Amino acid sequence: MAELVDALASGASIRKDVEVRVLFWAPDIYPTTSLFGCKRAENLALIFHACFWIYPPMPPKLGPTGGMRGGIDSNIPPFHEKRCPQMSLTVAEIKAFKPSAKPSKKADGKGLYLEVFPSGSKLWRWKYRIAGKEKRLALGAWPEISLAKARELRDTARQQLAEGIDPSLERKKAKATAQFDAANTFFEIASEYIEKKMIGEGRAKGTLKKARWFLDLLAPAIGKMPITDVDPQMLLAALRKLEAKGNYETAKKCRSFASRVFRYAIWTGRGQHDPASALRGALVTPKAKHYAAILDPAKLGEFLRMVDGYEGHLVTKFALQIAPHIFVRPGELRHAEWDEFDFDAAIWRIPAGKMKARRPHSVPLSKQVLSLFVELRDVAEDNGYVFPSFYTFKRPMSENTVNQAFRRMGLAKDEVTAHGFRATASTLLNESGKWNPDAIERALAHGDSDAVRGAYSRGNYWDERVKMAQWWSDYLDRLKKGGEVVSFGAAKNG
């Protein structure tokens, strides 16, 4: 191939300074012959706007030293298609390109070109048209993007264009999706769920602490993944690691927590499915473990005497003495605050945020319990937490404080636990036959399985609960004094 850009010299009636290219086949050409042949009017192919205006055939001629020279055949590409053939770039040419004062473009073919900047950098770009508008698509820098790779990217973009897809717009969508996914990982959405959903609903501090712990356990496996990419098998693999350590209950709770996070992502328009729901039944069901509790009245009396002889921290001793009487959950007792108590009415009103069921709960205080609280208030701070930490009044006592006190008293964890007082009260109050089972359930802050029944019966047992609280404290005092213990079952039969 050879090319000459010049004005016509034949004297034909054609504008000056118009780009003229002469294209001919010449397997054996000398420069002088080429130039001579190119300047002949009958051998010219005139181009306006990349289309052949005229392309008179140029038959091959016999050269002075033999062989056929020159020639244009209008029946072969690119001449019969009335388009200008393009010279493709080579790696050697790309390396040889030198920067100039202004950016320059070096065409490769099919809209692909290399833009050489004054700084020396060379960037691949692809020019195309869509909906009547000319656009450009950046394909990367050379040599990071090789010539072959640039052509591959161009061809991919051309295929998109052929399918009616704007490659530039598609790239912007992909970039936005990647940024969206990066900002919506499982860890980020789970953290948002805790901060906005759980804290917003007033969940107890202990509940929030456990949620963050579950997130910490899941984070190494799926924390950095876009939440839409997490599938059931990925989540299951993370849960299996917990099961492998024997933490079956923890694995189940992590699955439940993850399910809540996935549902939150769906509600906020960032998730599509809940892979955790597909894992129901996939995990090992641990054997139910009941909290150790003292159910024998004689042993309960002995325990109460041991508590009165406890020589540890004074605040801890008050917690040990009060807990059996009111049988609230350990966390509810630890987080008790003085402004929740009405000593004139003998009521402790626990706000919904501290309750497991997220409903406020009122606890009637017997004379014995009221006396213990008043005594504790006189020897401790009368604001903030009733049972503060050893180190600061700004935090409640540790969740292990009461159980550690039991261990120091010589009681094993399979004999008594802080949570076990609820089972003790429930068992002995029901065995007494004196109280409506619904009243006992209300005292334990258990919800009714029948929502309508629960709504209508909530206030009906308060008077009975007040009497029951006083009877229970009196009963514990009798057991502590070592009086005659009568089995409730035996009493009924007699």
The pLDDT of residue 200: 85
Structural domains for the chain: 1-85 (no CATH), 91-168 (3.30.160.390), 186-279 (1.10.150.130), 297-486 (1.10.443.10)
The pLDDT of residue 61: 58
Q: Are 442 and 458 in contact (CB under 8 A)?
A: yes
Catalytic residue among 422, 442, 465, 480: 422
Catalytic residue among 171, 197, 241, 446: 446
| Single-letter residue type at 203 | R
492 is catalytic: no
Q: What is the C-alpha end-to-end distance of the chain, expressed in Å?
A: 122
For the segment 459-481, the average pLDDT, to the nearest whole number, is 90
Which of the two residues, 261 and 47, has the higher pLDDT score?
A: 261
pLDDT, one tens digit per residue, over 143-179 is 898 898 989 988 888 888 888 888 888 888 777 777 7
149 is catalytic: no
Q: How confident is the model at residue 393 (pLDDT cuts 50, 70, 90)?
A: confident
Q: Are 423 and 290 in contact (CB under 8 A)?
A: yes
pLDDT, one tens digit per residue, over 413-449 is 888 888 888 999 999 999 999 999 999 999 998 864 3
Catalytic residue among 172, 173, 305, 456: 456
Q: Are 467 and 346 in contact (CB under 8 A)?
A: no
Catalytic residue among 39, 356, 358, 377: 356
Share of the chain above pLDDT 70, in %: 75
What DSSP line would sit under 318-354, residue for residue?
HHHHHHHHH---HHHHHT-BGGGEETTTTEEEE-GGG
356 is catalytic: yes
Catalytic residue among 69, 122, 335, 419: 419
Q: Are 470 and 369 in contact (CB under 8 A)?
A: no
The pLDDT of residue 187: 93
> Is the pLDDT reported for residue 487 higher than 80?
no
Catalytic residue among 203, 329, 334, 361: 329
* Window from 53-57, 190-194, 240-244, 445-449 with minimum mean pLDDT: 53-57
Q: How confident is the model at residue 465 (pLDDT cuts 50, 70, 90)?
A: very high
49 is catalytic: no
pTM of the model: 0.50
Mean pLDDT of the chain: 78
Contacts 24+ apart (CB under 8 A), 7-11: 8/41, 8/44, 8/46, 9/39, 9/41, 10/40, 10/41, 10/44
DSSP one-letter code for 117: P
The pLDDT of residue 13: 39
413 is catalytic: no
291 is catalytic: no
Sign, CA dihedral 212-216-218-219, equals: positive
What DSSP line would sit under 39-63, residue for residue?
HSGGG-EEEETTEEEE---B--EE-
| Both structure tokens of 445 | 């802050």
Decide: helix, strand or coil at residue 391: coil
> Quick one: CA torsion of 457, 462, 467, 473, rounded to 10 degrees?
100
> Is the pLDDT reported for residue 123 higher than 50?
yes
What DSSP line would sit under 78-115, residue for residue?
TTTTTB---PPP-HHHHHH----SS-EEEEEETTEEEE
Taking every pair of C-alpha atoms in the chain, what is the biggest distance, in angstroms?
140
The pLDDT of residue 31: 36
The b-or-e profile of 183-214 (16+ CB within 10 A means b, else e) is ebbbbbbbbbbbeebbeeeebbebbeeebeeb
pLDDT, one tens digit per residue, over 324-364 is 999 899 889 999 999 999 999 999 999 988 888 778 899 99
pLDDT, one tens digit per residue, over 44-101 is 333 333 333 344 455 555 556 655 455 544 454 444 444 444 568 888 888 888 888 8
Question: How far are the Cα atoms of 94, 290, 330, 431 from residue 298, in angstroms, in the given order?
Answer: 97, 21, 24, 15
Instruction: Name the residue among 47, 114, 43 with its Cα closest to residue 78.
Output: 47
Pairwise CA distance, residues 107 & 125, whole Å: 10
